[in-house]
Chains A and B, each alone.
Chain A
Amino acid sequence: MTAMIEIDGLDVTFRVKGHEVQAVKGARFTVGEGESYGLVGESGSGKSTILRAICGLAPVTGGTIRIEGRPLGPRRDKAFASKVQMVFQDPYASLHPRHTLDRILSEPLAIHGIGEHDRRVVAALESVGLPASFRFRYPHQLSGGQRQRVAIARALMLEPEILLLDEPTSALDASVQAEVLNLLWDLREERGLTYLMVSHDLAVVDHMCDRMAVMEAGRIVETLERPDLLAGRFRHPYTRKLFEASLAAGG
């Protein structure tokens, strides 16, 4: 299996008002081509920060991030954007409120000098199951699930190989969550995408991912394969707590 993403001893440190917040401490894991890898863990444990660090949106203070074997420098260039795209945790904040879907979806094309704007926007809407008639709507005219589809469509505009998904369904109700997970499932099959997916919901990660890392307070405390989870083969007390609480919750 070729390694698409390698996180090697990653540290992220925010500096605020003279003190330091070590949001990620020595994280290490590898995601293979076409694989879906899950990041689960406590709220505030650093999951979103790892995704943001990959995108160059968080202060990396140690370690290396490699994409297809090549270490990333301090800046992300255009080539990075056409290889790696992120879907953010907050579906309300991540789409520009005063831009139509047409504009939201065609912006990445314009930046990268890609033509055939009309055809590609319509195709993108279709690929996430939205009618072409939505093209000139604004985000506030969509339901939460439709907005999340648009965020996924936007991430796919440049035909990336890797999607970083930050809680892609936590703001959605059960029926819409199922629709979005099915969409992600199909896109992965059709396009051979690699997913790195954050979720606080163990059942969602178990459904989508074959391997996962469990985080607590900035550290990866355990990495698991899917059968380990089901069989209860884990060592760390936090994993056990999460697993037991998830089962009790009906997951």
Chain B
Amino acid sequence: MSLLEVDDLHVRFPTETGMVEAVRGVSFSLGRERLGVVGESGSGKTITGRAILGLVRKPGQVRARRMLFDGIDLARLDERGMRRLRGQRMAMIMQDPKYSLNPVMRIGRQLTEGLRLRERMSPAEARRRALDALEAVKIRDPERVYDAYPHELSGGMGQRVMIAMMLIPGPDLLIADEPTSALDVTVQAEVLKILDDLVRERGMGLIFISHDLKLVSRFCDRVLVMYRGKVVEEIAADRLDQARHPYTRGLLNCLPRIGGPRGHLPVLERDPAWEEA
């Protein structure tokens, strides 16, 4: 049985200027594997992730034929049940660390709060677990960062703190939303290795949202390509260079290369027909 099953998911937002159809009939299933979700900004990647975790805020409307997590029907869960799942079995690394870290609370307290409340761990042990997690994401001086406030961290450090925070409870399903967009490739490689180990050794299911096609093709098993709220292509990750959809192909051409030609990079010419694919 798969870990997660999503069948015909729709998310829409009523706004002053009409209805925004953010997700329009997305279906997929996830095993204990690394599933990539790519697509340009605004294509519905983040909202899909938030909908699975029950994190779409009002006035947003979520509707699906079925959403099953490990046999649990997510549509029937009340807010309390959902919150319990989110704390322990499912987690999401948010795209923007500035939004998910509390600006007036020290990092250490944010990392240990769950451990002390849910797992009734002693303060000393919780601290040790948190420091280990910071070290695992290659924070050079974990002790200082433990005592720091979010504004004292660089962009990439904030992102790594977020990752550490989500990994501490050891979830079965992790949705990582652009988790390495602020990291240089060397640190990125370390972070990916942590995620990879969790999938291989602990059997975690990973949804890896990214706008970086090359990264996803190296790191994931399977890739969904989203365009305007729909999945327009599903492809084995190592065959992404053979993608058929013009949007996917176009994206690959836009990237600069070391030693590549200078001046203008090719940009994507969007075609309204892609929406119907």
Chain A residues with CB under 8 Å of chain B are 14, 16-17, 19, 21, 40-44, 48-49, 89-90, 92-93, 143-145, 167, 170-179, 181-182, 185, 200-204, 206-207, 217, 229-230, 238, 241-243, 245-251
Contacts and interface: CB of A to CB of B under 8 A. Distances in A.
A230 B98 CA distance: 36
A242 B148 contact: no
A245 B40 contact: no
Contacts of B18: none
Interface string B240-276: 0000000000111011111110111111100000000
A14 B153 CA distance: 11
A177 B251 CA distance: 10
A114 to B, nearest CB: 32
A250 B214 CA distance: 6
Contact of A93 (B98, B218, B252): B98
A48 B42 contact: no
Contacts of B262: 207
Give the interface centre of A17, A41, A172, A178 by most chain B CB atoms within 10 Å: A178
Given A14-B152, A93-B98, A200-B156, A43 B182 contact: yes
B186 A241 contact: yes
A139 to B, nearest CB: 14
B234 interface: no
A117 to B, nearest CB: 27
B228 to A, nearest CB: 13
A171 B159 CA distance: 12
B110 interface: no
A93 B159 CA distance: 15
A196 to B, nearest CB: 17
A177 B41 contact: no
Chain A to chain B: the 3 pairs with minimum beta-carbon distance, closest first: A43-B156, A173-B211, A250-B214
Given A144-B41, A145-B41, A207-B260, A171 B181 contact: yes
Contacts of A249: 185, 214-215, 218
Interface in B193-218: 211-215, 218
B41 A40 contact: no
B79 interface: no
A202 B254 contact: no
A178 B265 contact: yes
Nearest to A241: B186
B184 interface: yes
Contacts of A200: 156, 182-185
B49 to A, nearest CB: 16
B263 A185 contact: yes
A89 B267 CA distance: 23
A242 B184 contact: yes
A167 B214 CA distance: 19
Contacts of B258: 202-203, 206, 229-230, 243, 246-247, 251
Given A14-B152, A90-B155, A170 B182 contact: yes
A251 B211 contact: no
A44 B153 CA distance: 8
5 contacts: A21-B144, A49-B154, A173-B41, A178-B267, A250-B255
Given A43-B160, A48-B155, A173-B39, 17 more contacts: A16-B147, A19-B144, A43-B156, A43-B157, A43-B187, A44-B153, A44-B157, A89-B155, A172-B41, A175-B251, A200-B184, A201-B184, A242-B186, A246-B258, A249-B215, A250-B214, A251-B185
A92 B185 contact: no
A16 B252 CA distance: 44
A17 B152 CA distance: 12
B96 interface: yes
Nearest to A189: B263
Given A177-B254, A185-B264, A206-B256, A42 B148 contact: no
B72 interface: no
Contacts of B184: 40-43, 200-201, 242
B265 A42 contact: no
B140 interface: yes
Contacts of A179: 267
Contact of A230 (B42, B215, B259, B265): B259
A204 B264 CA distance: 12
Given A42-B186, A48-B154, A242-B184, A174 B147 contact: no
A186 B46 CA distance: 32
